[in-house]
Amino acid sequence: MNRNLINTGTYIPAHFNKMKKILMSLLLIAFVMSSGATAYRKCPPGNDFDKVVSYFSNLSLSVKKADNPSLYYEIFKWIGTGYRWGGSSKTGADCSGFVRTIYEGVYGKLFPGTSRSFFDNCREVPSDAIAEGDLVFFRINSSQITHVGIYLQYGKFAHASTSKGVIISDLSDPYFHKYFYKAARYDLLTVGLNEKEN
Which of helix, strand or coil describes residue 101?
Answer: helix
Angle at 133 between CA 98 and CA 121, to 5 degrees: 75
Calpha distance 158→147 (Å, rounded): 12
Out of 15, 43, 122, 147, pick the active-site residue.
Answer: 147
177 is catalytic: no
Query: What is the number of H-type helices and E-type strands within the chain?
Result: 6, 10
95 is catalytic: yes
Out of 15, 43, 95, 122, pick the active-site residue.
Answer: 95
Amino acid at 94: D
* Helix 69-78 / helix 46-57 crossing angle, nearest 10 deg: 80
User: What are the angstrom distances between the C-alpha of 34 and each of 27, 31, 123?
Assistant: 11, 5, 19
15 is catalytic: no
Instruction: Say how many C-beta atoms besides its own lie within 10 A of residue 40's C-beta.
Output: 16
Among residues 138, 114, 122, 121, the alpha carbon closest in space to that of 198 is found at 114
Catalytic residue list: 95, 147, 159
